[in-house]
Amino acid sequence: MMKLNTLLLAILLSCATVAAQTVTGVVSDSNGTPLIGATVSVEGKPSGTATNTKGEYSLKDVNITKDSLTFSYLGMETVTVAVAGRTKIDMRLEDARNEVGVATIVEKGYG
């Protein structure tokens, strides 16, 4: 009985280890230019990360079988994708089509 319990515990721990992994990648714009400071987060979790000067990110403890990642950047469409077992996800963000909330500054001269 003790061997069976030990075996079951080992199987459970190995499944948890496989599921929680580091996911890395590069976030770029529609032209392939890396985006500095783009936000990458696990959907439904408060923490995330920002891309570095090469557009690279790394997120630890991602459940690669269940989690989804959200990619966002000012002026770009926000995208959410399922990790679906991948440990490397490169993302190209498109320009935002909806300009609601964008302020237009008009210079007016008085003379």
Looking at residue 47, its pLDDT comes to 83
CA of residue 75 relative to chain centroid, distance:
17
For the chain of 111 residues, list the mean pLDDT of each consecutive stretch of 10: 54 56 97 98 93 98 96 97 97 84 60 57
